[in-house]
Every structure is written in C-alpha cells, then in structure tokens.
Amino acid sequence: MNTSADIIIDRIRNARYSITGIKFSLVGLENSILAITLSLIMVLPIAEIFLRFFFNIGIENVNGLVLHLTLVIGTLGAAIAAREDKLLAFAGAKLFKGGFSNISRLLTTAMSVAVCGVLVFGSISFIQFEKSGGVELAYGIPVWVVILVFPITFCLIALRLLKRSQAGILSVTGIIILVLAVIGFILYAPLSTPLLRTIVITALVITALFGQPVFAMVGGTALILIWTEGIPIASVILNHYSLTSNTSLPAIPLFTLTGYLLAESRAPQRLVALFDALFGRVYGGPVIATVLACTFFTCFTGASGVTILALGGLVMPLMLNAGYSRQSSLGLLTGGGSAGVLLLPALPLILYAIVGNIPIMDMFLGGILPAFLMLILASIWGISQKPATCKADSEIFDIHLVRRSLWEAKWELLIPVVLLSGMFSGLMTPLEAAAITALYTLVVEVYIHRDLSLGTDVVNALVKCGSLIGGILLILGLALGLTNYMVDAQIPIKAVEWVKQVIESPWVFLLALNGCLLVVGFFIDIFSAIVVLTPLIIPMGMAFGIHPVHLGIIFLANLELGYLTPPVGMNLFFSSARFERPLLEVCRSVVPLFFMLAVGVLLITYIPWLSTILPDLLG
C-alpha cells in the first residue's frame, strides 16, 4: 500500500506541465536540462577554441560559464541519482536484511531528510546573500540565478528519499516524525552541548552504515560542527559553491561522458575482437586479451564495476572457448580491470588530483608504471590457470583477421591519441582536451559507426553520466565544509602528531596505511573515500616524506583492491549479478587473483620510483 510520501512523489513525478502547448513530465524536464547542460560543457570550450583561432574573439567568461554549468550538473545530477536510487552509500549496508532492514530504512531516511532540510535553509540564506551582492556571471546573468539549483535539488532529494524508503512502517506518523526531525535539527542544533554534538555525529555515522547516503553523513557532520562554532549555516553551501574556483573540475563529467558513450555503443565488441585477434591464438592470449580489454574500459569508464557489466557477456565466452575453467574466468573478469583506475582519464585518478591539489598530468605519469605492473601480474595469474590442452593452441595466427579487426576499431584506438595530443601539445587546456575527446567519441559512435542515436541513446548516456557525477560532486562540495572546519581546528596537524608518536618509520606507516585503505575499500566506494580521506592522508604522507604522487597511487591501488575483498567488496556483487553466480562462488574465484594483486600493491608501496620517476622526468 502506498504511503502519503509515495502519493506525493507520484503526483509530482506524473504531473504534466505545458509551455507553448508542449507537454512534459518532471522526469523529462530534469533529463532534458541535464543533457543540455552537459552538452554545453562539451561545446563551449570547443567553440572558444574555434572563435579564438579564426576570429581572435572569445566567449565572455567562458571558464566561469563552464564551471557554473558543472555546478548545475553536480546538483541536478544528484537529484536524478536520488530518483534512480543511485546515491553513493556504504557497501556494508547490503548485509542488513529482513525486519531490521525496514527499521534501518526509517532511521536513515529520517536523518537524510533532516540534513536535506537544513541544507535547503542554508541554500536560501546563501542565495539572499549573493542576490544582495549583484554579481554577474556573463551576458547579464546574475550568479544567484544559478545558485537557485541548490534548494531545488535538496528538496527533490528529500522527497525521493521518502519515496525510496518504501518501508511499511513509514506511514503518515513516520512522515510527521521526519518533519519534526528537520525542525529540531534547525532550531536546536546550534545550542547543542558537546555531548549532544557527539551523539548526533555518532548517529550520522551509524545510519551511514545502515545505508544512509554518504552525502548526508558528510554534510550533516559538517553542519553540526560549524553550528557549534557559531558559523552561519550558509557557509556549508558557500564551500560547495567554491567548487567553481577549480578549473579542472569540468574535466570530470567530460571524461566520464566519454566512457559512457563507449560503454553504450558497440565499442566493447570491436575492442574485444581486436584483442582476441592479436593475442587469442598465442599461449595465454585469451587472458592477455581479457586483461587489456578490461583495463581499457576501466580507464575510460572510471569504474571496474561498469567494466564487468559491459564486457562480461563478451569476454566470458572467449575465456571458456579457450579452455579456461569457469571459476578462473570469473575471477579474472572480476579483478582483471583493476589497473585501469591508475590511468588517465580514469575518474578516480582525476578526482584524487583535484582533491589533493596535485597536477593531473603528474598523477597520470605516476600511474603508468604501476598500472603496467598490475596488468602484468593479473596476466601472469590468468595464464597460470591455463589447462594442459587449450583450443587456442591449435589455431593459426590470422594476420587478415588482425587487419580487419584493427580497421574496425581504429576510431576507438585513436581516442587516447586525441586525448594525449591535446594535453601534451600545449595548445589546449586540460578542459579543452577533455571537451575535444568527448566530442570526438560522440561523433565516432553516432555518425561514423552509427551505434548510438542522438535522440535516445546519447541522452541516456548523458543522464547516466550526470547521475554518477552528481553523486560524487554532491559529496565533494559538502566535504569541503568539513575539510575547512578540520583545517581551522588543526585536526590534520593533531592527527599527524599522534601518528608520529605511534609510528616512527615511514615504511611502517605505509604498511598501516595499506591495511586501513584495504578495509575502507570494501566498505566505501572509491569516490567517497577519495573525497573524505584525502585531506587527512596527504598531511600524514608529507610528514613522513612520501611523494604526493606516490601516496596517491598507493591510495587508488589499495581502494581498488578493496573492491575484491570478501565479503562486501563491490566488484563481487557486480560480478555475482552479471554472471548470475552465487556470491560465495565469486569470492572463491577471485581470492587467488586478489593475493597476486596484493603483491602488486606492496611493490607499488615500497618501490617509490615506480610512481615518481616519470613525473620527476616529464612532469
């Protein structure tokens, strides 16, 4: 039976609006705005290059426009992520089932809606402040008009969290409790004692373990801490808005869009066919083809889980036909793409560079050799699983098949060339190179291969990209408030002093860091972990004299390894769902590869020059 919240949401969702006779729903309106905004982020930098080169003119404040449009993507995308139940949350919540799951949904919904309510209040205060300032963005557009997206987004998220709770216990009485929680949060939190502050923050952490979205834990903690210091609520929104000062930020949605366009097209089939033609007829070739294909797609999609879903149906038959067992094939497909997160333009690599204030090119150069190492180790393990007799041994290398496959995949193989040429030529900014890469991929998949329709498939890719980016940027924006509080309170300095008292050797510190990040990796998604932990980890690494790029590669490699850690590593669930195999079977299949990749993580940790030699020479 539908609750009152369900009825409200359904009415909003199904409502039809009319402008000049054209009818559309709220969902369609959101999707359209998101698609148009993301398209503008891609087109404006390219238009700036064209106008600058041919007419020696430019677009007024083009960087500011693109940055504010990225802010719109981040907020509106978060509302869509809430609509699709894709807000980032701890993986540990998957362990809670049954009646306790219903109660946990009520608690997490109450806390999340309370946080959203306070953020709406802070957003309105911030808009009033900006409106009084009268600052214009470009072409007479006032900045406060763009910021209107904040309260709208947080209202939509709150309503959709109510809808998604779907707990029978969440009746009209439950909704009243939620409203009272919001009012109490706003009225009484500023007067809270240290004990009450501790209780509320603890409740935020506990409900996060039950499945509360990470943004609510981060944002709620920031709100509680700044209120006790007498700082206005609007400062949290101000910190979120400060994302527009980072010129590298728009590269995140553009590179992510490139990955989604590839995943939605037939590019996976062409690339798998190419790698199979190149390596499938040699000893261990199917393994090499699988690892290369998975690494390539993880690199562009930024998520090894997406790679499992996109390539699983293509690569599993390849491995089985070559004589490999289902268990070893399952293990290789689950963890074979781990190296991809260390290569540009992987989203985790770019996000770490932005949060850690490290040049993106330095992180890219630092990840090349470690990624190559992880790729080799995964291939060695896979080849070691080969049975005594293999069908591929009797097949002859076919140069004509290679040429044909290479010709069919040539446009996709040029994507890294387009990207690196733009970034290394000095003729483009990283933002412009990202825009060119996304547009090139769009043209290839829509107009050359004709795999995607511009109206339906591309819009779907834009919406999927926006919902992922929205969930990430929402956490990133709210985490800035928490980070600024910790800096003002000297928490990183105190944490470094405590660690230095407990640990004296940098090698022991790195080993402890490996252990901590491994645990974090199987409870928290890599994006949330980067945003929340990087501000604490980097000062500690600097205190022990660890190169920031080396520390970043250690960070990413450990978190990706955590995705393979039983019982709640995220890739295990992806693989179990994709191949319709029991979770326990997936865990058994990936354990040997997990230990092989763990050796790689240790080598990356204790051989610093693997990460630093290229940045030092070329950065």
Give the per-residue pLDDT at 97. Answer: 53
Give the per-residue pLDDT at 568. Answer: 63
Mean pLDDT of 292-319: 78
pLDDT at residue 144 is higher than 50: yes
Measured CA to CA in angstroms, residue 328 lies from 64, 95, 483, 569 at distances of: 50, 26, 43, 18
Gyration radius of the chain over CA positions = 25
Mean pLDDT of 389-409: 72
Give the per-residue pLDDT at 18. Answer: 43
Give the per-residue pLDDT at 460. Answer: 86
Give the per-residue pLDDT at 88. Answer: 78
Give the per-residue pLDDT at 22. Answer: 39
Q: Provide the β-strand partners of residue 23.
A: 18
Closest CA relative to residue 311, chosen from 328, 332, 327, 342: 332
User: Are 375 and 291 spatial neighbours (Cβ–Cβ below 8 Å)?
Assistant: yes
User: Are 352 and 251 spatial neighbours (Cβ–Cβ below 8 Å)?
Assistant: no
For the ranges 41-50, 363-372, 600-609, the lowest mean pLDDT is seen at: 41-50
Using a pLDDT cut of 90, give the percent of the chain over it: 10
Rounded-to-integer distance, Cα 137 and Cα 60, Å: 9
Rounded-to-integer distance, Cα 325 and Cα 1, Å: 47
Closest CA relative to residue 43, chosen from 469, 465, 434, 472: 434
Rounded-to-integer distance, Cα 581 and Cα 595, Å: 22
Task: Convert the pLDDT of each residue in 581-604 to its tens digit.
Answer: 787 788 888 888 889 999 999 999
Q: For residue 74, what pLDDT band results from cuts at 50, 70 and 90?
A: confident
Question: What is the value of pTM for the model shown?
Answer: 0.81
For the ranges 42-46, 346-350, 405-409, 575-579, the lowest mean pLDDT is seen at: 575-579
Measured CA to CA in angstroms, residue 318 lies from 76, 167, 352, 406, 565 at distances of: 40, 43, 35, 18, 26
Q: Which amino acid is at 567?
A: P
Give the per-residue pLDDT at 114. Answer: 82
For the ranges 38-47, 58-67, 274-283, the lowest mean pLDDT is seen at: 274-283
Q: Residue 267's Cα: distance from chain center in Å?
A: 22
Q: For residue 559, what pLDDT band results from cuts at 50, 70 and 90?
A: confident
For the ranges 140-149, 150-159, 297-306, 354-363, the lowest mean pLDDT is seen at: 297-306
* Relative orientation angle of helices 583-606 and 360-384, to the nearest 10 degrees: 130
Closest CA relative to residue 585, chosen from 328, 321, 313: 328
Mean pLDDT of 490-512: 82
Mean pLDDT of 59-85: 88
Tokens 């709640």 appear where?
568
Task: Convert the pLDDT of each residue in 83-142 to its tens digit.
Answer: 888 887 765 555 555 445 566 677 777 778 888 888 888 888 889 888 888 788 888 888
Q: Residue 122's Cα: distance from chain center in Å?
A: 26
Mean per-residue pLDDT of the chain: 80
Q: For residue 553, what pLDDT band results from cuts at 50, 70 and 90?
A: very high
Q: For residue 574, what pLDDT band results from cuts at 50, 70 and 90?
A: confident
pLDDT at residue 394 is higher than 60: no
Mean pLDDT of 41-60: 84
Burial of 327 (0-12, 13-18, 19+ CB in 10 A): middle
pLDDT at residue 448 is higher than 90: yes
Give the per-residue pLDDT at 610. Answer: 92
pLDDT at residue 12 is higher than 50: no
Give the per-residue pLDDT at 440. Answer: 92
Closest CA relative to residue 415, chosen from 253, 271, 258, 265: 258
Q: For residue 190, what pLDDT band results from cuts at 50, 70 and 90?
A: low
Closest CA relative to residue 560, chosen from 327, 365, 294, 172: 294
For the ranges 197-201, 245-249, 416-420, 600-604, the lowest mean pLDDT is seen at: 197-201
Output 446 or 485, whichever has higher pLDDT: 446
Structure tokens at 2: 């539908």
Closest CA relative to residue 255, chosen from 73, 438, 44, 415: 438
Task: Convert the pLDDT of each residue in 176-187 to its tens digit.
Answer: 565 566 556 555
Give the per-residue pLDDT at 5. Answer: 42
Output 300 or 156, whichever has higher pLDDT: 156
- HSE (CB half, 13 Å, CA atoms) of 388? 0
CA angle 465, 297, 556 (to 5 degrees): 85
Give the per-residue pLDDT at 15. Answer: 47
Task: Convert the pLDDT of each residue in 407-427 to its tens digit.
Answer: 998 998 898 888 888 777 777
Element spanning 216, H or E: helix 214-228
Output 481 or 174, whichever has higher pLDDT: 481
Give the per-residue pLDDT at 372. Answer: 93
User: Are 553 and 346 spatial neighbours (Cβ–Cβ below 8 Å)?
Assistant: no
Output 216 or 192, whichever has higher pLDDT: 216
